[in-house]
Amino acid sequence: MDVYGLIGNPVGHSLSPPMHEAGYEALGIDARYVTFEPDPDDAVRAVEGAAALGVAGLNVTIPFKRDVLAAVDPDPLAERIGAVNTVVFPDPDEDGGEGGTPRGYNTDAAGVTRSFERHGVSLDGSDAVVVGAGGAGRAAAFALSDAGASVHVANRTTERATDLAAEVPGATGGGLAGLDERVPAADVLVNATSVGMEENATPVPADLLHADLAVLDAVYTPTETRLLREAAAAGATTIEGAWMLLFQGVEAFERWTGEDAPVEEMNAALRERLE
């Protein structure tokens, strides 16, 4: 039996175990998905310990996504984003049992692009606005740029937006005041902040939203945020954060197993827990 898992602190709220185990069951894979909660300073030791125990793959969440870079060989996208959320361990049968450096990936980026693809939204040539310059914002900005979008990053702290934009090819950055100009002309909008999770609030005023916009809100609890309700009222295409959560997991599943993930079964398991 293969063991996959998640390291984070805390991880008790994670929806990854039922989602991944639904995938294993659907494909008849003999595997389990478990959670680990190392001390916040023990990211590298946690990865090393998982490798020593024969864990086949790890997901990584807060606060370890940056720290595990020191324990893995990141692929170019994860290196540019500066964060890893998926670790693939070398197969000892392929390297003579010598182990080797685990490979690190950032599947949050695929979570963004595959969510838009699922909803029939073309990113190539689009004008995209990303609100937020933290971890989710970084993943979204690079993902959209790599998909052919022109990206503008807006953040409460302007300097963080401009710093991120300087790393993303062709991107621009600015403060939230610039949304008044950017959103009405945009094709794609991503909320990569936590606004709307704990309160009935939105990072983007409703009067800026329009019917030619596709809106992805990375917040997945609640599944329908105020931003998405107001975007739907404006006629926009709306994409719940649960899709981003699903597809980052789907991407990790496929990297670990080499199989096409059973998306519908994994989505059903996720939605059951979100209801």
Which active-site residues does the annotation give?
65
Instruction: Confirm or deny that 136 is annotated as ligand binding.
Output: yes
135 marked as part of a ligand binding site: yes
Residue 120, annotated as binding a ligand? no
* Strands of 237-239's sheet in order across: 172-174, 150-154, 127-131, 188-191, 214-217, 237-239
Query: Is 125 annotated to bind ligand?
Result: no
Answer for the pair 152, 172: CB distance below 8 angstroms, yes or no. Answer: yes
* 8-state DSSP, 104: E
Tokens 């917040």 identify what position?
A: 219
User: What's the full length of the chain, in residues?
Assistant: 275
H/E segment holding residue 27? helix 16-27
* 170 is annotated as contributing to ligand binding: no
- Determine whether the annotation assigns residue 61 to a binding site: yes
- At residue 70, the 3 state secondary structure works out as helix
Q: Do the annotations mark residue 160 as ligand-binding?
A: yes
Q: Are 146 and 171 in contact (CB under 8 A)?
A: no
Q: Give me the helix-helix angle, 263-274 and 241-257, nearest 10°.
A: 140
Q: Is 15 annotated as a binding residue?
A: yes
155 is in an annotated binding site: yes
Reduced to 3 states (helix: H, G, I; strand: E, B; else coil), residue 189 is strand
Residue 42 assigned as binding residue: no
Is 157 annotated to bind ligand?
A: yes
Residue carrying the six token digits 């993902």:
143
DSSP 8-state assignment for residue 72: S
3-state secondary structure of 90: coil
Is 99 annotated in a binding site? The answer is no
Q: Which residue's structure tokens are 């030619």? A: 212
Amino acid at 197: M
220 is in an annotated binding site: yes
Q: Name the binding residues.
A: 14-16, 61, 85, 108, 132-136, 155-160, 218, 220, 241, 248
Q: Name the binding residues for NADP(+).
A: 132-136, 155-160, 218, 241
Q: Name the binding residues for shikimate.
A: 14-16, 61, 85, 108, 220, 248
